[in-house]
Structures are given as structure tokens and as C-alpha cells.
């Protein structure tokens, strides 16, 4: 089977975005109480938002299961405060849960965390627990920059983040390191901030003993690892020069997805990164939606690139398409096993 480990609910019904607008508007009203969830979305609306869009594409491309989370760019953790983020994360996560209930064979849930700049991670721990134990989610997205473009929070290797990691380890769920929107005019979100977030965090991990403290913590760096595989020699060299462990040690806990939208990039990814550390992903319908005039296929049709990598034997393809995801996301594996898959 083929598991896509990186999908966002980018086609969610309009009522979700409308709530967010009302919630944000309320922040500007002095003394007004925060706006809790105040909307309803019917099952048919959810079906209509997926069937002709993400689900159609997924089926067409032969992807069996997508690890599905709220839209990353809309997490916008800089907005309001921790309470704002709590309400918003709950709204988004509950909706993803509805999706997984309607399409249990096609979607498994990953949650958005109610992060807020410089805020404690206590409410993130609570929301993670609610989503995993209550809603059957299999992982979480972690925004390494809740300021959304100014990077004013501590690095992800700082003890500030440890309560979240403790809960992730306890629940045995991985995290995908995924920034949100960018308020900084220097950084286009999907054209710069996303990739830069991936790159920055990988280097934080190179420099840190985080995984000595959390030997079973697993982090997925999306978008093919940002700039990292392309500069793999730089990272191997820097680690050596700085007296840090060699890459294989870090790769016990760090994984990359295949959201790289051309053949040469995927070739490089699978040339330099061990096949055990690469998880198939497309991020549909995500950052890049069009058809590549050079190939006649969608840029984000990453299955074609992975299938076309020279020298990748069938057992390796099996790892990239399925086995790695089941290993990194044990709760996904359990969910699939319970379905007889």
C-alpha cells in the first residue's frame, strides 16, 4: 500500500475560515470575550470538500492512506494569544477528526497544536493528548516559529519544548516540523519560510543532544528536508568539524518526506539519504498546484518521481511508500492493522 505522510485539509468548508475571521475580528473588540467554536459543518459538506478534490487526486494517483492535518499555513500561531490558538486548534482538529471518521480507510489524523509566541507548551500537551487518546490521531505538527517569520521563540532543542516531547514520547507519536504563514515580508511562506524552517531546525538538531534526552522521539522534516539533502556534504562536514556525531546517529530520530517537486530533486534525496529515512509524501493540494509543462503532470505528483528513481529496488520502494511510515507512526500502523491492512 501507499501512505502519504503529509496532507493538509486545504479544501476545508468555508465555515471554518469564516469562524477564524470572526474569531480574529473579536480580538480587536476591547473587553470582548474570546470567540469559541460557533459553527456547524454537515457531513455532506465535508464529503463535497474532499471527494472531487483531494480524495479524487489521491485515488487517481494510487495513494491508499493520507496522514492528514489542518492547513499548516492557516495555523498562524502569531494571532492573538494562547487561548486564541486553543480555540482555533480545537476547531481545526475536530474537523480533521470528522474527516477520519467519514473516511477511515483514506485518512488518519495529525493535529495542529495551540502554540503561541513565548507561551508555555502546557496547552499543547493537553491538546495533543486529547487528539491522540480521544480522537485517534497518530501524530502532530510542530511549528518551530510561532512568531510566524521572526523566530523569536527558543530553538526546538531548548528545554522550553521538553514538556511537549515528553508527551510525544509517552504517546509514541512523531512530530512533523512545519512552520505556518509568514508575517515577515522577507519570507514568502511556501517559497522561503517553509524550506528555511526545515533547514534551520535540522541544523539545531545537528548541534544538540536532544535525542540523548529523548532516544525514542521522532521528528519528520518535510519538503524533502528543506536545503539539507542538497547540502548533505556541508552538514556531514559541519558535524565533523564541530565535534558532533556523524549523520547516521541523528538519522535514528530524524526523517525526511518526499515533497520535492521535480525528478532531479527526488533522485538526490534518495541518493544521499538512507532509504529508511525517507517517507513518501505529496502535500496535495498544497503549495504547488499546477501542471509542470515539462512533464505534463502535476508538480506535486511525487509518486511519479519516486517510481522513476533509478536503482531503487522494490523492497526499498516498499519502505518509502509504506514501511517507514508504519514504523515512524506506530499508531498509524496499529490503525491499519486493525483494518486488516
Which residues participate in catalysis according to the annotation?
283
CA separation for the pair 205, 239 (Å, rounded): 11
Nearest partner of 204 among 221, 184, 182, 180, judged by Cα: 221
In whole angstroms, how far apart are CA 59 and each of 33, 127, 262, 304, 321?
44, 31, 21, 14, 15
**For residue 48, what is its C-alpha cell?**
463535497
Q: Residue 279 or residue 287: which is nearer to a copy of itself going by CB?
A: 287
Sole binder of a copy of itself in the list 88, 103, 187, 255 (CB under 8 A): 187
Is 264 near a copy of itself (CB under 8 A)? yes
Burial code (b: 16+ CB inside 10 Å, e: under 16) for 150-182 equals ebebebbbeeebeebbebbeebbbbbbbbbbbb
Sole binder of a copy of itself in the list 12, 131, 287, 323 (CB under 8 A): 287
Is 151 near a copy of itself (CB under 8 A)? yes
Is 167 near a copy of itself (CB under 8 A)? no
Is 11 near a copy of itself (CB under 8 A)? no
Is 10 near a copy of itself (CB under 8 A)? no
Backbone angles phi, psi at 196, to 5 degrees: -70, -35
Phi/psi-derived region of residue 195, left when phi > 0, alpha when psi is between -120 and 50, beta in every other case = alpha
Q: Residue 91 or residue 266: which is nearer to a copy of itself going by CB?
A: 266
Q: Residue 9 or residue 299: which is nearer to a copy of itself going by CB?
A: 299
CB of 35 to a copy of itself, least distance (A): 32
Q: Can you give the binding site for a copy of itself, defined by CB under 8 A?
A: 144-145, 149-151, 153-155, 158, 184-188, 190-192, 195-196, 199-200, 202-204, 206-207, 223-224, 226-227, 229-238, 240-241, 260-262, 264-265, 267-268, 271-272, 287-290, 292-294, 299-300
Amino acid at each position: 500500500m501507499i501512505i502519504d505522510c503529509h496532507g493538509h485539509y486545504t479544501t476545508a468548508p468555508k465555515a471554518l475560515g469564516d469562524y477564524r475571521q470572526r474569531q480574529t475580528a473579536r480580538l480587536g473588540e476591547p473587553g470582548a470575550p474570546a470567540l469559541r467554536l460557533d459553527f456547524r459543518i454537515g457531513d455532506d459538506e465535508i464529503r463535497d470538500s474532499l471527494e472531487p478534490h483531494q480524495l479524487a487526486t489521491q485515488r487517481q494517483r494510487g495513494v491508499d492512506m493520507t496522514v492528514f492535518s489542518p492547513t499548516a499555513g492557516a495555523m498562524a500561531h502569531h494571532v492573538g494569544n494562547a487561548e486564541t490558538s486553543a480555540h482555533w486548534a480545537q476547531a481545526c482538529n475536530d474537523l480533521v477528526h470528522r474527516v477520519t471518521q467519514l473516511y477511515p480507510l483514506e485518512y488518519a489524523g495529525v493535529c495542529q497544536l495551540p502554540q503561541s509566541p513565548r507561551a508555555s507548551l502546557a496547552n499543547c500537551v493537553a491538546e495533543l493528548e486529547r487528539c491522540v487518546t480521544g480522537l485517534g490521531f497518530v501524530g502532530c505538527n510542530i511549528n518551530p516559529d510561532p512568531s510566524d517569520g521572526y523566530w523569536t521563540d527558543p530553538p526546538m532543542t531548548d528545554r522550553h519544548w521538553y514538556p511537549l516531547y515528553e508527551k510525544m514520547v509517552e504517546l509514541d507519536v512523531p512530530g512533523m516540523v512545519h512552520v505556518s504563514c509568514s508575517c515577515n515580508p522577507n519570507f514568502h511562506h511556501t517559497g522561503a519560510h517553509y524550506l528555511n524552517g526545515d533547514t534551520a531546525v535540522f541544523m539545531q538538531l545537528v548541534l544538540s543532544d536532544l535525542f540523548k534526552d529523548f532516544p525514542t522521539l521522532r521528528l519528520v522534516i518535510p519538503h524533502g528536508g528543506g536545503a539539507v539533502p542538497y547540502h548533505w556534504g556541508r552538514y556531514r562536514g559541519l558535524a565533523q568539524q564541530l565535534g558532533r556525531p556523524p549523520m547516521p546517529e541523528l538519522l535514528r530520530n530524524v526523517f525526511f518526506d518526499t515533497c520535492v517537486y521535480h525528478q532531479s530533486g527526488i533522485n538526490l534525496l534518495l541518493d544521499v539519504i538512507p532509504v529508511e529515512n525517507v517517507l513518501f509524501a505529496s502535500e496535495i493540494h498544497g503549495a504547488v498546484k499546477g501542471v509542470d509543462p515539462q512533464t505534463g503532470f502535476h508538480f506535486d505528483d511525487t509518486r511519479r518521481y519516486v517510481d522513476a528513481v533509478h536503482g531503487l529496488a522494490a523492497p526499498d520502494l516498499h519502505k518509502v511508500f509504506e514501511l517507514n511510515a508504519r514504523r515512524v507512526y506506530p499508531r498509524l500502523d496499529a490503525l491499519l492493522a486493525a483494518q486488516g491492512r
